[in-house]
Amino acid sequence: MKVFEVAGRIAGSGEYILGFDETGSHACYLIYGVLRAGEKGRELKPGRGHEEMIMVVTGDLTLTGAVTMTLKQGQAIHLKGEEACFAENRTASEAVYVVSGGHSASGHDH
């Protein structure tokens, strides 16, 4: 069993995708994301043939698009295909989220 260092792959803001390159599998992937205080405009979108669950680990994310709401620590949403949200961190502290995704029943394009 291999252990993957995920959180340490980001310095500051951004996303790290743990997927095929590390696991050799197209079945699922994990995205670890960090938004700095006041940062806006990160698109969250699974894409055709994919579904994703987005969960806030620390902080709050303000979402607009397919859903418009504040997603709080410990809360998650489910997006399918071309459904998209833009994430913004309107708080004074860093927000961390994870995205768990995979191929939907409609297949995949890889």
pLDDT at 26: 87
Q: What is the mean pLDDT of residues 24-38?
A: 94
Q: How far apart are CA 59 and CA 92, in angstroms?
A: 9
Q: Go through the domains of the chain in sequence order and give each one's CATH number.
A: 11-103 (2.60.120.10)
List, in order, residues 6 or more apart from 82 with CB less than 8 Å away: 45, 46, 47, 48
- The residue whose two tokens read 């699922």 is 28
Strand 85-88 relative to strand 60-65, pairing: antiparallel
pLDDT exceeds 90 at position 109? no
Q: How far apart are CA 91 and CA 26, in angstroms?
A: 35
pTM over 0.85: yes
Strand 28-35 relative to strand 60-65, pairing: unpaired
